[in-house]
Amino acid sequence: MKRILFLFTLGLIILVLSGGASFAAEVAQGKCVAYDKAKNEISIEEYDTNFSKAAPYGKPTGTISKFDITKAKIGIAPQPGDILRIAYDADGKTKKAIKVMNVSRQDLRKK
């Protein structure tokens, strides 16, 4: 009986831990190039992860990425030029945003 309970518990733990990885989203950060609320799209110029005092959000990579924001939760409304952090799921060629955070407008660090 103890062996069955142990195996059941072990199986449940493995199931929970392996299921958590499937809910992970990818993240992109960069400067807002275009925000089209009517088309439910946001385009950003992606930034790298080389942070410094001169480039606190990273440096531009030149890569423009477009995101579908149909079902995304959006914090402070983005405007071109704002720094955005976007959590998204890549579904084939489409990047579906889950959450859009306006980093530059919610930045509480002292400048």
pLDDT classification of 7: cutoffs 50, 70, 90:
low
20 located within any domain: no
Q: What is the pLDDT of residues 56-84, one digit of tens each?
A: 999 999 999 999 999 999 988 999 999 99
For the chain, the average pLDDT equals 85
Question: What does pTM read for this prediction?
Answer: 0.74
Per-residue pLDDT, 1 = 78
Residue 104 CA, distance from chain mean position? 15
Q: How far does CA 57 lie from the centroid of its chain? A: 14
For residue 9, tell me if it sits in a domain: no
Query: Domain holding 48: CATH number?
Result: 2.40.50.320
Looking at the 3D structure of the chain, how many domains does it have? 1
What is the rounded distance in angstroms from the CA atom of residue 45 to the CA atom of residue 70? 20
3 domain-assigned:
no
What are the residues facing 85 on neighbouring strands?
Answer: 29, 101
Specify if 41 maps to a domain.
yes
Is 52 contained in some domain?
yes
Give buried/exposed letters for 73-96 (b at 16+ CB in 10 A, else e).
ebeeebeeebbbbbbbeeeeeebe
Domain boundaries, position 42: 25-106
Residue 17 forms part of a structural domain = no
Q: How confident is the model at residue 11 (pLDDT cuts 50, 70, 90)?
A: low
Per-residue pLDDT at 22 exceeds 60: no
More confident residue, 8 or 89: 89
Distance CA 39, CA 57 (A): 27
Q: And the tokens for 4?
A: 């069955």
pLDDT classification of 44: cutoffs 50, 70, 90: very high
